[in-house]
């Protein structure tokens, strides 16, 4: 019987139950762990709807999903308080997230989770799979710590910005710092492009988009870079794409190809 890891998973705004179930893989696997990184204002529904697909394609990998709005406390005392059963959810105190947090600050929170997972699974690196803003956070982590990030997958992530944010009505509704940073042509995106171009140890990156995504259409999901591979998975919207079977087929195929070509860090291959 597979062991099940504890996981805390909430959205950025905290409007979701702490005890929502999320099943993940074994911690004693020899394969590199995967961290699912949610987007701005999203919740566990991003991944729960596609959970069966994720498990079908990665049955032997430890998979984690964290809130970026919770205090990070995974001491043994806290873990012992977690409910016992098939779905073990760490009980963490909810805290309000600041509307003025920058994407870089969310990225630092993700860095903390990477450190934790590497220690927990005795792994030197992780695979990051991010949806929307979660992909941008993953790219920042890949730039800042390339040895701990074996590969990055960005699903409907606004690498060139979200065109919808240029709409005056939408921009008035979404006044957060992070949304301003995701507006096409922002200083944040320009700096991200420069950092990606300058990085000499960038891991392989897969970008996935859909032409039917009105928030971040496929052309806005990728940029030209030697390390970036782009795949169109059309027919899905911004949120439904995370549960699309073809998305996980493409991710599994891409990761298998990386292993075959041996272009990723050694720990991407099982020992």
Residue 158 has pLDDT above 70, yes or no: yes
* pLDDT digits 0-9 by tens, 98-126: 457 899 999 998 998 899 889 888 899 99
Compare 246 and 271 and report the one with higher pLDDT.
Answer: 246
Over 90: is that where the pLDDT of 215 sits? yes
CA angle (135, 212, 42) in 5-degree steps: 40
Q: How confident is the model at residue 68 (pLDDT cuts 50, 70, 90)?
A: confident
Residue 163, both tokens: 């065109």
- Cβ count within 10 A of residue 243: 19
- The pLDDT of 24-43, averaged and rounded, is 80
Give whichever of 44-48, 55-59, 146-150 has the largest mean pLDDT.
146-150
In whole numbers, what is the pLDDT of the chain averaged over residues? 78
In the three-class reduction of DSSP (H, G, I as helix; E, B as strand; rest coil), residue 135 is classed as: helix
Is residue 2 pLDDT above 70, yes or no? no
Residue 3 has pLDDT above 60, yes or no: no
CA neighbor of 191 nearest in space, from 144, 235, 261: 144
Q: Is residue 5 scored above 60 in pLDDT? A: no
Q: State the DSSP code for 207.
A: E
Answer whether 236's CB lies under 8 Å from 210's CB: yes
Specify the pLDDT at position 268.
57
pLDDT tens digits along 224-256 = 999 999 999 999 999 999 999 999 999 999 999
pLDDT at 86 over 50: no
CA distances (Å), origin 134, targets 60, 99, 127, 137: 23, 16, 13, 5
- Residue 92's CB is within 10 A of a number of other CB atoms, namely 21
Among 28-37, 154-163, 176-185, which range has the highest average pLDDT?
154-163
Q: What's the pLDDT score for residue 237?
A: 95
Task: Look at residue 26 in the predicted model and tell me its pLDDT.
Answer: 73
Distance of CA 270 to CAs 111, 117, 249, 255, Å?
23, 17, 20, 12
Query: What is the CATH architecture of 34-261?
Result: 3-Layer(aba) Sandwich (3.40)
CA atoms within 13 A on the CB side of 240: 10
Most confident of the ranges 1-15, 55-69, 73-87, 190-204: 190-204
Mean of pLDDT values over 35-58: 80
Residue 120: the pLDDT is 85
Of 72-76, 142-146, 182-186, the range with the lowest mean pLDDT is: 72-76
> What is the average pLDDT across 149-160?
97
């Amino acid at each position: 019987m597979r062991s099940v890891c504890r996981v805390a998973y909430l959205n950025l705004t905290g409007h979701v139950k702490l005890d929502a179930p999320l099943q993940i893989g074994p911690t004693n696997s020899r394969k590199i762990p995967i961290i699912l990184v949610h987007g701005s204002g999203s919740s566990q529904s991003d991944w729960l709807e596609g959970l069966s697909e994720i498990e079908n394609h990665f049955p032997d990998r430890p998979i984690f999903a964290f809130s970026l709005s919770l205090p990070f406390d995974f001491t043994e005392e806290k873990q012992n308080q977690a409910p016992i059963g098939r779905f073990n959810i760490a009980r963490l105190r909810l805290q309000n997230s600041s509307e003025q947090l920058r994407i870089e600050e969310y990225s630092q929170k993700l860095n903390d989770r990477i450190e934790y997972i590497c220690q927990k699974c005795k792994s030197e690196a992780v695979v990051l799979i991010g949806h929307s803003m979660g992909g941008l956070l993953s790219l920042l982590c890949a730039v800042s710590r390339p040895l701990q990030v074996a590969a990055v997958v960005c699903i409907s992530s606004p690498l060139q910005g979200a065109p919808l944010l240029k709409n005056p009505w939408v921009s008035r509704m979404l006044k957060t710092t992070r949304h301003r940073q995701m507006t096409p042509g922002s200083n944040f995106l320009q700096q991200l492009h420069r950092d990606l171009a300058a990085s000499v140890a960038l891991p392989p990156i897969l970008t996935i988009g859909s032409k039917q995504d009105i928030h971040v259409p496929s052309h806005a999901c990728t940029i030209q870079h030697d390390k970036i591979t782009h795949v169109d998975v059309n027919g899905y919207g911004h949120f439904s794409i995370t549960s699309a079977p073809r998305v996980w087929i493409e991710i599994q195929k891409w990761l298998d190809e990386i292993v075959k070509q041996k272009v990723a860090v050694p720990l991407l291959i099982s020992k």
